[in-house]
Each structure stands twice: as structure tokens, then as C-alpha cells.
Amino acid sequence: KPMREEIVQTLFPAQFMNGNIHIPVAVQTVGGTYNTTQSVHIWDPSQQQIQGEEGQEQQLHLQGQIEAEAQPPTEILVPVSLKPDEGLEVWRLWAERKNEELSKREKTFAPIGRRQPLRFQEDLVSSAVAELSLGLSLMTQEARGSEDEQFAPDVLYYVFLCIQKYLSENGRVDDIFSDPYYTRFCESLHKILCDWRPSVHPLGYIIPSHVTEEMLWECKQLGAHSPATLLTTLMYFNTKYFRLITPEQHLKVAFSKVLRHTRKNPANAKDKATSIRLLKGQGPNSAVQKGTDDMYEEQIEDPENPLRCPIKLYDFYLFKCPQSVKGRNDAYYMTPEPVVAPNSPMWYSSQPLTNQQVEQMLARIIVVREIQEIIGTTQENMS
């Protein structure tokens, strides 16, 4: 099995650029729950031309699936972690192809004046910020925009997370998802993510997202690494635990509406659990309403894992916000200061995020597999 998994992962970048993508897919029955601990097995019903003994085995496997009245396979391939080298290879192949295109174009249309012709570095680490932002933006538009093939937005997002991890592992401090220099790329990415929904396979299975929560922790998109990642983490936890899945719901959250709560263990008075709560179905007076426990959505502390603990990160956020905003009843997500050091006492201004910023951050969160499961469960309970 490890050998076959390796084959797919090495083929992935080349096929991505050739327009014949073969990405690991995870499957789930419609309305069913998704189990991320299932064992790994490669299968791809959409692959028409399969060669060699391995291909025959896959064909038989698919045939067996159909004969078994399209039951979901017992083993599925789940992308469980980011592959930084995969991100590098996708970029390298794209840059190579793009440079060839630019060369052909220059032979037809000579560059004006003495301006240097545009070329993309194949090595990510040595790419200038402006060049990388432009390249990632074009890559997003082109991979989505060809008429004969449209790549799944969650797959592209997975590739960009691999690229982010590669950059940080090789000494680059860029955050391609939040640095102001990458605004053009973030806008292009948002256009393809904002309307994304999990696709349904012809056999009737939901194909969940390729992006998992763990991947975001892996490439430092969650945590207290910077003002932007801390803010993303709070929004992620509010989506996951408070079940806020629209920009409008997030924009209604305010400092005064998030309530700290301490629950004592009846058997041991010293054993206390701290949580933060938000009243379900927020009304304008939710800050002053009290009620039974089931009236609230809750985030509970995780003492075993302080770096990922919702309460510790919430407290750290409060600590880094100006005193003047902490009682506000009309804002919660504050704008990061442009330049801050990790030990700076203030990470955020007194200006809330714009609606557009909230929408862009949330779109990247909604694509995460665990959040999709919560959305699916919430919709089932409502129906």
C-alpha cells in the first residue's frame, strides 16, 4: 500500500499541470458520517484509461463496487497531511510552462523599450514576493478557467497550503494567505472558494474536501504565530464550536456577547473547567440574557493541548487587543496592526475587520473537511 500511495503522490503534480488530474479522493455516503480514521486504499472510478496489472486490479475493484449496488468502498484514500515538495513541484511545472508561453508571445509581440521580459523562477524560495503573488494568482485563474477542465477549488487550496509549508520550512516568512503583498492572490483564491460545495460522485457519494484542520495547524495557518493566524484561529473555533457558518453570523459576534463560564466538578470543588459561551440564535440583547446550558454554544478549554486550547487563545487575543474594544457590543474581529513584533503589547487596532475581510477568511475555513461535516450535521438536524 505505501508503494501505491507514493505512485499517486509523485504523479499528482505532473497530471495536475497536464489537465488530467488524479488526486486522492475520500468518499462518504450522502447523509452519512465521515470517518477520518479509515484505512487507506487508492481507487479512482473516473479514470478511464488504466494500464498494467495495477490498472486491472483497480478496474475489478470498481466493477465490484458497482455490482455491490454502489456501496461505498471499505477503504478510501484520505490526504492526511501536506506534502511541501508536492507544492514545489506543482509550482515548478507551472512556471516552466508559463515561461514557455511568455517566450512564444514575445516572439510575436516584441517587448516595448528595454524592459526585462517577465519570467517566473522555478525555485519558490528564490522567487521575489511580487513575482510569487502574481504567479499564484495566475495559477489560480488558469487552473480554474480552462473550458475543457475545471480543477476542484479545494484541491487548489490544498496545493497552496503545501506551498505555504514549503516556504516556511525553507526560511521564508511570507504568509501567502494574509500578507498585504499577496492581496491579488487572496482575491483570486476567494473567487474560486466562495461558492465551493463538496461534489457528489456519479455513484452517489459525497467527495469531502481535501483540506483538513490538521493541515492548517501544520502550515501555521492556525495558532498564535501572528496577528492574522490568531484571528483566523478564533474565527475557525467560532465556526466549529459556535456553529457560525455565514459572514452575517460572524459579523454579529461581539466582545460583550462572548461570555466566560466556569463549571465546577460536583465531586471535587477544586476541579473547574473554563469555557466561553455564545447565546444560540443571537438577538440584539444576547449580552444580558441568561438561561439554561442548552441555550448556549460553547468552547471548552483543552488543558492537555495549551497551544491549541480555545480558551487560552481567546485570552491571548484579549491580551493583544486595545482596552477600549473589549466591552464593544458591535465588533469582535479587530484589524491586525500592519507591523508588529511577537512581543509587542498590541497586535490589533480598534478598527474591526471589513465585511470583505471576514468573507475571505471564512471562505477558507468553510472548505475544511471537519467544518463541512458540522455544516452537514446542522442541515440534517434542521431538516
Question: What is the DSSP secondary-structure string of 284-328?
Answer: TTTTT----GGGEEEEE--TT-GGG-HHHHHHHHHHHS-GGGTT-
Assign 290 a pLDDT band (cuts: 50, 70, 90).
Answer: low
Q: What is the mean pLDDT of residues 162-174?
A: 96
Poorest-pLDDT segment among 51-65, 225-239, 256-270, 302-316: 51-65
Half-sphere exposure of 352 (CA within 13 A, CB side): 18
Residue 73 located in a structural domain: no
Residue 366 located in a structural domain: no
Given 193, 218, 243, the domain boundary residue is 218
* Residue 286 burial (10 A CB sphere; 0-12, 13-18, 19+): buried
- Tell me phi and psi for residue 194, to 5 degrees: -65, -30
60 & 88 share domain: no
Q: What is the mean pLDDT of residues 213-238?
A: 97
88 & 50 share domain: no
Residue 345 located in a structural domain: yes
247 & 340 share domain: yes
Sign of CA dihedral 135, 138, 142, 143: positive
Q: How high is the pLDDT of residue 264? A: 76
154 & 210 share domain: yes
Instruction: Note whether 276 and 258 are within 8 A (CB).
Output: yes
Percent of the chain at pLDDT exceeding 90 = 54
Number of domains present in the structure of the chain:
3
57 & 95 share domain: no
State the residue for C-alpha cell 496592526.
Answer: 337
Given 218, 253, 281, the domain boundary residue is 218
Q: What is the mean pLDDT of residues 329-353?
A: 93
Residue 381 located in a structural domain: no
Q: How high is the pLDDT of residue 77? A: 62
Residue 192 located in a structural domain: yes
Residue 376 located in a structural domain: no
Structural domain containing residue 337: 227-352
Q: How many CB atoms lie within 10 A of CB 310?
A: 22
Dist. CA 311–CA 276, nearest whole Å: 7
58 & 140 share domain: no
Residue 370 located in a structural domain: no
Given 180, 195, 218, the domain boundary residue is 218
Alpha helices, DSSP H, located in 150-279 = 153-169, 183-193, 213-218, 227-240, 247-252
Q: How high is the pLDDT of residue 206? A: 84
Beta bridge partners of 171: none
Residue 38 located in a structural domain: yes
Kindly provide the b/e burial profile for residues 326-338, where b requires at least 16 CB atoms within 10 angstroms of the residue's own CB: eebeebbbbebee
Q: How high is the pLDDT of residue 297? A: 92
